Chains A and B, each alone.
Chain A
Amino acid sequence: MIEIALLFAFGCYSLGLLFNLWRITRGPDAADRILALDTMVINVIALLILYGIREGTSVYYEASMLVAMVGFVSTVAYCRFILRGDIIE
Chain B
Amino acid sequence: MAPVTEILISFFIVVSGIFGLVGSYGLIKLRDTMQRLHAPTKATTLGVGGALIASMLYFLLVKDSFSFHELLITLFLFLTAPITANFISKAFMVSNLRPKDVPETGRDYGWAIYDDPPQLKEPEAEGKGE
For the complex, give the distance between the alpha carbons of A33 and B36 in Å.
11
Within the complex, which residue of A9, A39, A68, A76 is in contact with B17, where a contact is CB–CB below 8 Å? A9
Interface size on A, residues (CB 8 A): 51
Main secondary structure of the interface of A (DSSP, over half): helix
Known pairs A12-B18, A46-B20, A65-B69; A31 contacts B10 (CB<8 A)? no
Q: Nearest chain-A residue to B14 (Cβ)?
A: A5
Q: Is B7 an interface residue (CB 8 A)?
A: yes
Interface size on B, residues (CB 8 A): 53
List CB contacts (< 8 Å) of A10-58 with chain B: 10-13, 15-17, 19-20, 22-23, 28-32, 34-36, 38-39, 42-43, 45-46, 49-50, 52-53, 56, 58
Q: Is B84 an interface residue (CB 8 A)?
A: yes
B54: chain A residues within 8 A (beta carbon): 50, 53
B63: chain A residues within 8 A (beta carbon): 56
Q: Nearest chain-B residue to A23 (Cβ)?
A: B27
Q: Nearest chain-B residue to A13 (Cβ)?
A: B20
List CB contacts (< 8 Å) of B42-87 with chain A: 43-44, 47-48, 51-52, 54-55, 58-59, 63, 65, 67, 69-70, 72-73, 76-77, 80, 83-84, 87
Residues of chain A whose beta carbon lies under 8 Å from any beta carbon of chain B: 1-2, 4-6, 8-13, 15-17, 19-20, 22-23, 28-32, 34-36, 38-39, 42-43, 45-46, 49-50, 52-53, 56, 58, 61-62, 64-65, 68-69, 72, 75-76, 79-80, 82-83
